[in-house]
Amino acid sequence: MRNRLVLGFIVITFLIAPSVFAQNSTAGTDARLAKLEAATADAKSSADNAWMLTSSALVLMMTGPGLALFYGGLVRKKNVLGTMVQSFAMMAVITILWGIVSFSLAFGSGNGFIGGLHNLFLHGVGVQPDADYAATIPLQTFMVYQLMFAIITPALITGAFAERMKFSAMLLFMILWSLIVYSPMAHMVWGKGGLLNASLGGRFPCLDFAGGTVVHVTSGVSALVCALYLGKRVGYPKEAMTPHSVVLSFVGACLLWVGWFGFNAGSALAAGSLATSAFVATHFGAAAAVLGWSGAEWLRNGKPSALGAISGAVAGLVAITPAAGFVGPMPAMVIGLVAGAFCFFMVATVKARFGYDDSLDAFGVHGTGGTLGALLTGVFAASAINPIFKDAQGNTLPSGLIDGHPGQLLNQAIGVIIAWVLAIVGTLVILKIVDATIGLRVTEDEEVQGLDLTQHGEEGYSWEVTA
């Protein structure tokens, strides 16, 4: 009955309306649909862009003040400014370098190992998205987001040679390191055509959501090489070199935790549910690692220290970084718990056994935590969280070992090995160059007096007779 009524209505409409009018109406609907689609795409793009700009700012906050405070508190007070300014210098120097050349080396199209020179001076990096990286945000947003990673990565290394490296040597070292180690590694794992790129069909697809290999393994392993090459601080380990302010480190670590949401959830490169998943995994991983480190410390030393708790959080955040967008909250907890206890063991037992002076444990936390996290990503990655592997028909394939893809462990191991080798060889070469040109270490007198006075002519805490 109803159908017949509708039919009758349509027939009458067609009889009354001229055919020209009907054609106009279809064209009008198409135009409105197109407008609606454009508006929808624009709304999604705006939402994604808002999150990615926020994430970029959060990741910058991890370097300064986060890492600067964390490391600054751990050194003796005569070196507090010298240490903080090393992180801050990265915010300036790497930014310029990124604009001129290293963004192109990392993310320009190139071969399997390094990007080309098409994007020198940010040529071609504008508001148009690059669909290979992130289809809904301007390429410029992607560029500045990745810049924040390029800034914090070398800053992490400064923990290994703290309190003894010349400022000038540190600058040259970091510029070369960014070009020789960071850009190639970022290109291999995340860049177009990269050998290890999992989402753009690399030869050995290594799952690294937010930089377990690119950021933490490279910086942590390079840190160990630096600590070994530069040698110990004067008086280490006989003299007590205790942190001058665990309070500063505490604030820094908390800022790192918050900033890490930009680091990991931002690596979804969009504001959708994958960002939520990475955010949640990150938080649960960090929390479990606090328990892992503090529990191990409590058992071994009889007391859970504040410095232990915050170090555990950082270790967990490091380890969950490669896995963040591939695992659910429960595997994230396992990864965090294991990383917390493992990094405590590395820092408290292994470092003492071998006697190297990785002053602020850049290797113990980032090198080992990053390696552990990258390998565990191959165990726990689940296609239900992130369907990254697909066959030719577009069907989802399993991601990690538990998912039914044991071969992924091998891919993860290849990524880790390449990161280790690149970091060791690259860092050694750079250290030789800097050593031969401007020299790496301050003189013994300068080291005793402290970096603040000898390198910068200032003191972190002023002393007034009349105060």
Partner 1 sequence: MIKIEAIIQTSKLEAVKDALHEIGVEGMTVLEVRGHGRQKGHTEFYRGREYTVDLIPKIKLETVLPDTMVEKAVQAIVTAARTGKIGDGKIFLSKVDEAIRIRNDERGEGAL
Cβ of residue 265: shortest distance to partner 1, in angstroms? 39
Cβ of residue 457: shortest distance to partner 1, in angstroms? 4
Q: Binding partner 1 by CB under 8 A: which of 10, 121, 448, 461?
A: 448
Report the distance separating Cα 439 and Cα 168, nearest Å.
9
Three-state SS at 208: coil
Cβ of residue 349: shortest distance to partner 1, in angstroms? 25
Report the distance separating Cα 276 and Cα 325, nearest Å.
9
Output b/e per residue, 193-223; b: 16+ Cβ within 10 A. Answer: bbbbbbeeebebbbbbbbbbbbbbbbbbbbb
| Burial class for 53, CB neighbours closer than 10 Å (0-12, 13-18, 19+) | middle
The window from 120-128, 134-142, 223-231, 233-241 that contacts partner 1 (CB under 8 A) reads: 233-241
Instruction: Rule CB under 8 A: say whether 135 interacts with partner 1.
Output: no
Is residue 141 within a helix (H) or strand (E), and if so which, with residue range?
Answer: helix 139-157
DSSP state of 458: -
Q: Binding partner 1 by CB under 8 A: which of 127, 201, 239, 301?
A: 239
Instruction: Rule CB under 8 A: say whether 237 interacts with partner 1.
Output: no
Residues in contact with partner 1, total (CB under 8 A)?
11
Cβ of residue 459: shortest distance to partner 1, in angstroms? 7
Instruction: Rule CB under 8 A: say whether 465 interacts with partner 1.
Output: yes
Minimum CB distance to partner 1 smaller for 30 or for 444: 444
Instruction: Rule CB under 8 A: say whether 238 interacts with partner 1.
Output: yes
Instruction: Rule CB under 8 A: say whether 443 interacts with partner 1.
Output: no
Q: What is the DSSP string of 224-291?
A: HHHHHHH-PPTTTTTS----S-HHHHHHHHHHHHHHHHHHHGGGGSSSSHHHHHHHHHHHHHHHHHHH
Cβ of residue 240: shortest distance to partner 1, in angstroms? 8
The window from 89-97, 210-218, 232-240, 310-318 that contacts partner 1 (CB under 8 A) reads: 232-240
Instruction: Rule CB under 8 A: say whether 453 interacts with partner 1.
Output: yes
Tokens of 141: 């947003």
The window from 20-28, 172-180, 300-308, 453-461 that contacts partner 1 (CB under 8 A) reads: 453-461
Is the link from the previous residue into 65 a cis peptide, with omega within 30 of 0? Answer: yes
Cβ of residue 381: shortest distance to partner 1, in angstroms? 50
Instruction: Rule CB under 8 A: say whether 457 interacts with partner 1.
Output: yes
Cβ of residue 464: shortest distance to partner 1, in angstroms? 10
Instruction: Rule CB under 8 A: say whether 467 interacts with partner 1.
Output: no
- Of 276, 257, 355, give the one whose Cα is nearest residue 315: 257
Tokens of 383: 């296609």
Report the distance separating Cα 242 and Cα 35, nearest Å.
64
DSSP state of 160: T
Q: Binding partner 1 by CB under 8 A: which of 235, 237, 406, 439?
A: 235
Minimum CB distance to partner 1 smaller for 93 or for 234: 234
Cβ of residue 453: shortest distance to partner 1, in angstroms? 6
**Residue corresponding to tokens 């555990």:** 312
Cβ of residue 82: shortest distance to partner 1, in angstroms? 13
Instruction: Rule CB under 8 A: say whether 254 interacts with partner 1.
Output: no
Minimum CB distance to partner 1 smaller for 435 or for 446: 446
- One-letter amino acid of 293: W
- Of 182, 250, 173, 270, give the one whose Cα is nearest residue 218: 182
Cβ of residue 243: shortest distance to partner 1, in angstroms? 17
**Cβ–Cβ under 8 Å, residues 117 and 126:** no
Instruction: Rule CB under 8 A: say whether 30 interacts with partner 1.
Output: no
Q: Which of residues 347-366 bind partner 1 (CB under 8 A)?
A: none
458 backbone φψ class: left, alpha, beta (φ>0; ψ -120 to 50): beta
Instruction: Return residues touching partner 1 (CB under 8 A).
Output: 234-235, 238-239, 448, 453, 457-459, 463, 465
